[in-house]
Amino acid sequence: NEHYPFVNPPLPYAYDALEPFIDTKTMCLHHDRHLQTYVNNLNETLKGWCDLHDWSLEKLICNADCLPEVIRQSIKNNGGGVYNHIFYFNGMSDLESRSNAGMLFSAILEDFGSIDSFFQEFKNKALSVFGSGYAWLVLERGSGLKLVTSANQDTPIVKNLCPIATIDVWEHAYYLKHYNQRAAYIDDWFQVVDWCYANELYMKYK
């Protein structure tokens, strides 16, 4: 498990791999500047707190409310920023195999009726985020698949939900290409979701 000092892992594909759906410049800035800043700020926050240097990212995020008040909000914002961005980037792919979602598609059909109605519900959820945040497909153990949103850099793992897929709907994720058209960005994001990866997570948590 990764711990302090945290690093910004390279994208699992080229910066231009998601063209024409997600543009190269957005991917460069989003990964090299936005995510890098969260990594730097998280490390800076943790620097003097040696007791926390062997804590994993997930442990820091899930126990943030028990941490000293002077670092609590920074751990939530920057730890969440690191976790959410890595999850978002890993969840996209340029491969055709991304359409092969195995058991996850069966579960989606069961819980949402059809792939189309799932997309529509996911889209509405992502459009409903006011300001900055994320929309997530999560697995609630013992219950099933659910769509949830999170504000800013909050993450569903603090609510004991298992993330399967996410879309970053902060404006920096789409403004250069889609301007203020979040709906168009969501449509494009659906084209590059790595359903193989999502299915692996689903099978792991199930």
Smallest gap, in angstroms, from Cβ of residue 30 to Mn ion? 6
> Which one of 37-45, 121-129, 166-174, 187-195 is the stretch in contact with Mn ion (CB under 5 A)?
166-174
Amino acid identity at 141: R
Give the amino acid at 115: I
Residue nearer to Mn ion on the CB measure, 86 or 173: 173
Residue from 38, 87, 168, 169 in contact with Mn ion (CB under 5 A): 168
Backbone angles phi, psi at 150, to 5 degrees: -135, 145
Secondary structure of residue 170 in the 3-state scheme: coil
Q: Count CA atoms within 13 Å of residue 70 on its CB side.
A: 5
Question: Considering the complex, what minimum distance in angstroms separates the CB of residue 17 from Mn ion?
Answer: 17
Which value, in Å, is the radius of gyration of the alpha carbons in the chain?
A: 17
The tokens describing 136, both together, are 């997530």
Q: Which of 87, 170, 174, 189 binds Mn ion (CB under 5 A)?
A: 170
Which residue carries 């996209």 as its tokens? 92
CB nearer Mn ion, residue 27 or residue 173 = 173
Least Å from the CB of residue 64 to Mn ion: 19
Minimum CB distance to Mn ion smaller for 104 or for 169: 169
